[in-house]
Amino acid sequence: MFDLENIKTTFAFFDDWEDKYRFLIDLGKSVPALPTEFRVTDNLVRGCQSRVWLLGEYDTGHNQLKFQIDSDAHIVRGLIAIVLATFDGHSPNDIVAYDIEYLFDELDLMNHLSATRGNGLRALVKRINDTAYSYVPL
Amino acid sequence: MQMGEPYLGSRPEPMSFDTESVRSDFPLIVDSNLVYLDNAATTQKPRVVLDALRTYYETYNANVHRAAHNLSDKATEAFERARQILAKRINAERPHEVIWTSGTTEAINLVANCYAQSQLKEGDEVLISEMEHHSNIVPWQIACAQTGASLKAVRVKPDGVLDLDDFAALLGDATRIVAIAHVSNALGTINPIQQIIAQAHAHGAQVLVDGAQAAAHLNIDVQALGCDFYAFSGHKMYGPTGIGILYGKESLLDELPPWQTGGEMIEEVRLAATTYQSLPYKFEAGTPNIAGAIGFGTAIEYVDGLDGDSLIAHEKQLLESATAGLNAIEGVRIVGTAPEKGPVVSFLVDGSHPTDIGTLLDQQGVAVRTGHHCAMPLMEAFDIPGTVRASFSLYNRLSDVDRLIETVEKARSFV
């Protein structure tokens, strides 16, 4: 759905914050909305100022993790699009091995991963990693 | 991170208050293009406070009250002088009614803990309000859980004004203590605490005032207010972090048992029994935050050196200007429109989450706070996820308000 290489290429063109954030917000608009029945406490990612819901499903046959993620904040949805482009449909092993900090650094979005920011990106990434870990063969 | 362009204000600043001179006293403010509007979280520090900390550590660092040497005498004298400065600032009758704590949170915890130990019992009631900061809720929840007392919260009206009818209805002879914010951190509402105190006293209840958001913005006179306890932090009024005070009436503090125990607070320790120091040391176990207390005293002296009335007028002007500017933006809704407010404006922008606006303002070099502001029950009562909060201080200029309005307008165009 989201192509990471496309996102990276687009980000590389931006030389001011306005273009970058307008793109990020646009990107967020294409994240499919999570149906209301899944917007429940059990699916909430704790540690977010905005609400973030995460559903993960493991496809044994293809060894793939599929994610549905949504938020009530525009910029967080944009960040979710990047997270989906990175992790959605990948194997638990690949997810665990991937260093998303490097990606966010490259996109100059590291401030969103900071522990103080409270937008939940860090908590979201941790929960995805924890989910992936639970499916990594011992 | 890219910051906003340096902003050169076009509006003349009010004559009565010399903002530019004040700004030059604050290194972080004067050397920065940042528009800092998160003063309710913590204020910046004037150079005199930084110098006081440095001078203490460089020239007379010693433990207080105990040693038999000159350096300790000097540290003790400065430490106790700071207590006197604080006592005078709030018009406490006696300096030993000022207890050093690590901040407002510890001060409230001290009282709640002592009340749980010695004052509260089953059937008693503790009265707070819906607009309290978590640090004036949770200590009382625990005190009530420990004693079987019950916790009641006064409703807040949709405009952010405390519902005084509800207060009168909830207040009763079972009420042992009313714990209430002087100024709401999330909304800015100034509560009519003098009236609240009088009504509580008429029912035999004592009153603790959480003054964290008031001390830097109002002139506090604990005797005129008649409050039993008043708590505030140093770092929200130009002092260092990790220091604050609990003011308490002597007779009440004498009655309460000690809280934390250890060195400094004892008179005589025998293995069979221990007798405690008199006030204020009974409540100051362990080596205190000496540098913090001295720095706090210096911060108070700094504020005392300014004209208090024109400072209040200056901050009021900032608030009124921000309120008018935000109200003029379509889709912006101010949360908390009480007639009496401290320099805090909380708002929401239609179709966006507070964190969106906070992030977009940050990108433009404007620092605000977003979220529930540690007042989740209030956000729940208002059925909102949180707010964007801009809070002003003496070094903010009208051009900072202009910058806020411009950046909110721009942020709105994104979402």
- In the predicted structure, residue B66 carries a pLDDT above the cut 90: no
Taking contacts as CB-CB distances below 8 angstroms, the residues of chain B near A25 are: 356, 414-415
pLDDT category of residue B2 using cuts at 50, 70 and 90: very low
pLDDT category of residue A117 using cuts at 50, 70 and 90: low
- In the predicted structure, residue B345 carries a pLDDT above the cut 90: yes
DSSP codes joined into one string, B305-344: TS-HHHHHHHHHHHHHHHHHHHHTSTTEEEE---SSB-SE
pLDDT category of residue B410 using cuts at 50, 70 and 90: very high
Summarize the confidence of residues A3-9 as an average pLDDT: 93
pLDDT category of residue A10 using cuts at 50, 70 and 90: very high
- The reply to whether omega before B280 is within 30° of 0 (cis) is yes
Residue A99's DSSP bridge partners are none
Residue B116 CA from chain centroid, whole number: 24
- B355 in contact with chain A, both atoms CB, cutoff 8 A: yes
Q: Count Cβ–Cβ pairs < 8 Å, chain A vs chain B.
A: 44
Q: Residue B221 corresponds to which tokens in the numbers above?
A: 């006179």
The two counts, helices (H) then strands (E), for chain A are 6, 2
- In the predicted structure, residue B8 carries a pLDDT above the cut 80: no
- Give how far A58 is from chain B: nearest CA, Å: 31
DSSP codes joined into one string, B158-195: TTS-B-HHHHHHH--TTEEEEEEESB-TTT-BBP-HHH
- B414 in contact with chain A, both atoms CB, cutoff 8 A: yes
A20-72 per-position pLDDT tens digit: 999 999 999 999 999 999 999 999 998 777 889 999 999 999 999 999 999 99
pTM reported for the whole predicted model: 0.93
**What is the structure's pLDDT at B170?**
98
A17–B414 CB contact, under 8 Å:
no
What is the sign, positive or negative, of the torsion defined by CA atoms of B221, B278, B299, B394? negative
Q: Which residues of B are catalytic?
A: 374
Average pLDDT, chain B: 94
**Three-class secondary structure of residue B347 per DSSP:** strand
* Closest by Cβ to A75, choosing from B355, B385, B386: B355
Q: Percentage of residues in chain B with pLDDT exceeding 90?
A: 89
**Three-class secondary structure of residue A75 per DSSP:** helix
- B365 in contact with chain A, both atoms CB, cutoff 8 A: no
State how many domains chain A has. Answer: 1
Summarize the confidence of residues B94-115 as an average pLDDT: 98
Which residue range forms the structural domain that includes residue A128?
4-135
Q: At what angle do helices B290-304 and B47-59 cross, to 10 degrees?
A: 150
* Closest by Cβ to A74, choosing from B1, B356, B385: B356
Q: Percentage of residues in chain A with pLDDT exceeding 70?
A: 94
What CA–CA distance (Å, rounded) separates A57 from A64?
Answer: 8
- In the predicted structure, residue B246 carries a pLDDT above the cut 60: yes
**What is the structure's pLDDT at B14?**
45
Is A48 in the active site? yes
**B35-36 and B98-101 strand pairing:** unpaired
- A75 in contact with chain B, both atoms CB, cutoff 8 A: yes
Domains in chain B and their CATH numbers? Answer: 19-33+307-414 (3.90.1150.10), 51-304 (3.40.640.10)
Neighbours of B410 (CB within 10 A): 15
**A64-71 and A52-59 strand pairing:** antiparallel
CATH number of the domain that A113 lies in?
A: 3.90.1010.10
The residue behind tokens 């540098």 is: B291
- B354 in contact with chain A, both atoms CB, cutoff 8 A: yes
> Which of A45, A48, A54, A76 does the annotation list as catalytic?
A48
What CA–CA distance (Å, rounded) separates A82 from A44?
Answer: 19
pLDDT category of residue B248 using cuts at 50, 70 and 90: very high
**What is the structure's pLDDT at B230?**
98
B262-301 per-position pLDDT tens digit: 887 888 888 888 888 899 999 999 999 999 999 999 999 9
DSSP codes joined into one string, A7-54: HHHHHHH--SHHHHHHHHHHHHHTSPPPPGGG-SGGGBPSS-SS-EEE
Taking contacts as CB-CB distances below 8 angstroms, the residues of chain A near B1 are: 111
Q: Percentage of residues in chain B with pLDDT exceeding 70?
A: 96
What's the DSSP call for residue B38?
B
What CA–CA distance (Å, rounded) separates B155 from B132?
Answer: 11
Summarize the confidence of residues B118-131 as an average pLDDT: 97
B141-181 per-position pLDDT tens digit: 999 999 999 999 999 999 999 999 999 999 999 999 999 99
pLDDT category of residue B1 using cuts at 50, 70 and 90: very low
pLDDT category of residue A1 using cuts at 50, 70 and 90: low
- Give how far B188 is from chain A: nearest CA, Å: 21
What CA–CA distance (Å, rounded) separates A91 from B83?
Answer: 63
- A50 in contact with chain B, both atoms CB, cutoff 8 A: yes
Q: What is the ipTM of this complex?
A: 0.91
Q: Residue B104 corresponds to which tokens in the numbers above?
A: 């407002």
